[in-house]
């Protein structure tokens, strides 16, 4: 509000004091400032354009063409790749798997992350150590996570099956990664194990920003623990939850390492996701056009989440 008169003056708005002193004088300074901003932004624009923009545009172009990785674009095919994908008999299952994988994993991460954040926010001995240890799954490389869980889940020599049999829970080993009914849920569980710490730490940071006085005031006004959480804590941590959830949805949808290493998309197609299918189509079938079409299709869906993310962060910046 306080800037408005100044801007009006700068633009030579009639009726202001500055306008009366120098009504027609050119004002190059804002323009120079604008140019300066572009100069400062140039390295970032060049880098993003080179390493993100160009590959993105190229991928989109590939999706509408027949592409040979050695001799390049062979011919424009329009939307044929997309038609082939959505009319393929496997598409429904792959799409369903992608939804279960993405929303299942992120929903559970959010729920458990919320619980974990409250636990880590409580006062107890060695709290700092526990907070550090809690980040280990998130900090562990995905390949290592996949190999570790393959060993744990091995039906014949893995520790989990050994424990289940020793406890009498089952008398025959469970092949978690080799049954259609358990492969995808198992992958979701492993991804949840890996992703919960991020949610917990993000929410913990937001929780620490909630003033104790507000909680006390709400409690004095008659709110119970649930009421304090609902009316004081939740509104305060909601922006963090929303932004973290959106980011995790995008990352998880694009996350291919665990699936590729642990099940390869099997058994059959029971754990094949769109991102895995994109990789296999491009690099194993050497069909870069088809692979790009899978990626573009997924990117189009995810762009809705990206728009939401941008709106949320822009709102936060305005505040």
- Interior angle at CA 267, CA 265 and CA 272, nearest 5: 25
Shorter beta-carbon distance to another protein: residue 6 or 170 = 170
Residues in a beta bridge with 76: 65
Which listed range, 126-134, 166-174, 186-194, 210-218, lies at the site for another protein (CB under 8 A)? Answer: 166-174
DSSP 132-164: HHHTHHHHS-HHHHHHHHHHHH-TTT-HHHHHH
Question: Smallest distance, Å, CB 264 to another protein?
Answer: 6
Q: And the tokens for 21?
A: 């002193």
> Whose CA is closest to 192, among 300, 102, 254?
102
**Residue 200 near residue 134, CB atoms below 8 Å:** yes
Of the candidates 42, 10, 12, which has an alpha carbon nearest to the alpha carbon of residue 29? 10
What is the footprint of another protein within residues 67-86 (CB under 8 A)?
Answer: 68-71
Query: Residue 263 is encoded by which pair of tokens?
Result: 């099940």
To the nearest whole angstrom, how small is the minimum distance from the Cβ of residue 252 to another protein?
A: 22
Q: Which is nearer to another protein, 134 or 177 (CB)?
A: 177
Q: Is 175 in the site for another protein (CB under 8 A)?
A: yes
Q: How far apart are CA 298 and CA 310, in angstroms?
A: 18
Q: Hey, what are 125's tokens? A: 């001995």
Per CB under 8 A, the list member of 93, 178, 254, 313 interacting with another protein is 178
Q: Which stretch binds another protein (CB under 8 A): 76-84, 172-180, 197-205, 251-259?
A: 172-180
Q: Give dist(CA 215, CA 229) in Å, integer.
A: 8
Residue 33 is a binding residue for another protein (CB under 8 A): no
Taking the least distance from each CB to another protein, the nearer of 161 and 244 is 161
Nearer to another protein, 25 or 285 (CB): 285
Burial of 43 (0-12, 13-18, 19+ CB in 10 A): exposed
Between 235 and 264, CB nearer to another protein? 264
Name which of 113 and 158 has its Cβ closer to another protein. Answer: 158
Residues 108, 114, 145, 174: which binds another protein (CB under 8 A)? 174
Please report, as ranges, the residues that interact with another protein according to CB under 8 A.
68-71, 154-157, 172-175, 177-178, 180, 183, 263-269, 272, 280, 283-286
């Amino acid at each position: 509000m306080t800037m408005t008169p100044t801007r009006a003056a700068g633009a030579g708005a009639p009726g202001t004091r500055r306008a009366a002193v120098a009504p027609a004088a050119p004002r190059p300074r804002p323009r120079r400032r604008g140019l300066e901003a572009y100069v400062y932004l140039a390295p970032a624009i060049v880098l993003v354009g080179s390493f993100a923009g160009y590959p993105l545009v190229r991928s989109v172009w590939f999706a509408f063409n027949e592409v040979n990785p050695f001799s390049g674009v062979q011919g424009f095919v329009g939307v044929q790749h997309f038609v082939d994908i959505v009319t393929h008999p496997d598409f429904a299952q792959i799409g369903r798997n992608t939804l279960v994988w993405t929303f299942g994993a992120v929903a559970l991460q959010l729920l458990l992350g919320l619980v974990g954040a409250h636990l880590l926010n409580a006062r107890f001995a060695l709290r700092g150590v526990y907070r550090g240890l809690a980040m280990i799954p998130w900090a562990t490389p995905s390949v290592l996570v996949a190999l570790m869980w393959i060993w744990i889940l091995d039906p014949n020599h893995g520790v989990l099956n050994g424990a289940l049999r020793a406890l009498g829970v089952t008398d025959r080993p469970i092949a978690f990664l080799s049954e259609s009914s358990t492969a995808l849920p198992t992958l979701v569980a492993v991804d949840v194990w890996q992703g919960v710490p991020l949610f917990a730490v993000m929410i913990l940071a937001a929780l620490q920003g909630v003033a104790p006085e507000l909680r006390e005031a709400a409690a004095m006004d008659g709110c119970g623990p649930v009421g304090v959480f609902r009316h004081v804590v939740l509104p305060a941590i909601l922006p963090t939850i929303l932004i973290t959830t959106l980011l995790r949805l995008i990352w998880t949808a694009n996350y291919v390492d665990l699936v590729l290493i642990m099940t390869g998309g099997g058994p059959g197609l029971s754990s094949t996701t769109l991102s895995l299918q994109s990789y296999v189509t491009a690099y194993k079938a050497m069909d870069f056009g088809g692979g790009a079409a899978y990626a573009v299709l997924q990117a189009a869906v995810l762009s809705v989440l990206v728009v939401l993310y941008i709106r949320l962060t822009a709102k936060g910046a305005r505040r």
